[in-house]
Structure 1
């Protein structure tokens, strides 16, 4: 019973922490732009707030992922690190928070906000369907699996956390754009780092985990797929498919930029 209470407390407490960070960032940005006498819309302020919190989350998740991987690399299935389980609760709360934050940012972007809550939700889901589905799956399916998995495979949980190494670059693109630096060398450099880190950390990391498992037990990739539980394969596939789609969008955006065309606001909305 105490364990349930403790875990629930971690989820609720960290959720409130993410929400507070989102609000405090908004207050700071309003004061910053007011002090520098720069006009910026409420939508863009909230957009930067969401991106800033996501950058902080990405750094924390990546840091814990690296710690777990380094501490468990000697035994990829048997070695344990308590961070792998407890941080899954924090991560679940983040994706719940971010779903709400994205909803608030979406409402601020609308010229005519629907009067009913159902109309607002319909508009939101139509515009951000894949991201909302991605967040819901991670918060309510993948994170609970990470918590209740009989204490094995912490190394792979750490690898899963390391996908967020690309997060600071994907979100920094939004921050740079809102601060009027879209035409700067920083924006271009960040874009290159974003594509490279995204390809390595969100695409190649999944095959790497299969190869590492196979190397440990002297199996090829096909044998690994057959050996591990079906839900593990499905979980990896659910994580991988949206990443391939988003990487494609990033590359198309880079090609567009190389051709001298401007990147629109919708082009930047990639998680």
Structure 2
């Protein structure tokens, strides 16, 4: 178990600094903000892909949703814990360099409590999400489950399925390719994967539990302890909020593309 923790502590920082070096060498005209942001997104995509693969492996291996176990659950939680901690640093570093670029709001100088505070105010929900995974999800998974529910932990791993596509979208924007067909196709993939694996996942878990014990879906919540329902609600709420943001962004992109097409069609019609 300690080996998984140490492996994660080496892999994710190593990937981040490796990507930074490669990007600086490949695109020397990029700013530090560009390099830090794209590197952070690439590492996020790698972690999410590994989490999804681990989740699919666990879910497909557990026939009994309560008692079947899989070694990947605890191992991947420990392997991913350093990522959650390091990603906070990577997000802060991206914010720091972005604010120091021309047009940013940061005052000249180095790191300061003011800079950290601005980052926490801007990305407070993501920071809270990472800390909750570290301080709540990890202890519960490792110490308080009594070896039960590996299937459900595997399901929660698969919530990361949409993250690589979200990261790709932000990288394309960073590369000023947000008007391309690739960006539009990627956006079309983000919405269904996010909705399926971060929102529909929760009724799916309730359905699987009810199916095993012969309980109708609408009655499952009443057969579970209150803390299980509250925990799921706490996990689901930010996903619904983030999905609403994705829908707004998709609508803005659609309207922008429509206006562009109308502008191009206008002169031709004349």
The TM tier, using the shorter chain, reads: 0.7 to 0.9
In structure 1, the residue matched to 2:113 is 118
Q: Deviations over 1:225-269 (max 9, x none)?
A: 23223332222122111111111011101111111179xxxxxxx
Q: SS of the residue aligned with 1:260?
A: helix
Select the residue among 64, 73, 80 that pairs with 2:54: 64
Select the residue among 147, 150, 168 that pairs with 1:151: 147
Q: Deviations over 1:129-167 (max 9, x none)?
A: 111011110111112211121111111111110111111
Select the residue among 187, 204, 207 that pairs with 2:183: 187
Task: Check the 8 A contact 1:142/1:235 in 2, yes or no.
Answer: no
Q: Deviations over 1:35-88 (max 9, x none)?
A: xxxx2221011110010001111110000111101110x211111101011111
In structure 2, the residue matched to 1:165 is 161
Select the residue among 131, 136, 147 that pairs with 2:126: 131
In structure 1, the residue matched to 2:208 is 212
In structure 2, the residue matched to 1:102 is 91
Q: How does 1:194-205 map to 2 (within 5 A)?
A: 194-205=190-201
Task: Check the 8 A contact 1:107/1:120 in 2, yes or no.
Answer: yes
Pairwise CA distance, 1:10: 3.1
Question: C-alpha separation between the residues in 1 aligned to 2:68 and 2:174?
Answer: 44
Task: Check the 8 A contact 2:202/2:236 in 1, yes or no.
Answer: yes
The TM-score with structure 2 as length reference comes to 0.88
Pairwise CA distance, 1:116: 6.2
Higher-Rg structure is: 2
Question: C-alpha separation between the residues in 1 aligned to 2:225 and 2:17?
Answer: 41
Task: Check the 8 A contact 1:26/1:46 in 2, yes or no.
Answer: yes
Question: C-alpha separation between the residues in 1 aligned to 2:111 and 2:69?
Answer: 48
In structure 2, the residue matched to 1:18 is 12
Q: Which runs of 4+ in 1 moved over 6 A?
A: none
Question: C-alpha separation between the residues in 1 aligned to 2:79 and 2:224?
Answer: 27
Q: Which consecutive unaligned segments of at least 5 residues does structure 1 have? A: 1-5, 263-271
Select the residue among 43, 59, 67 that pairs with 2:33: 43
Q: Deviations over 1:186-231 (max 9, x none)?
A: 0000001001100001110011101110111111345322322333
Matched, 1:90 2:79: yes
Pairwise CA distance, 1:175: 1.4
Q: Which consecutive unaligned segments of at least 5 residues does structure 2 have? A: 101-105, 259-270
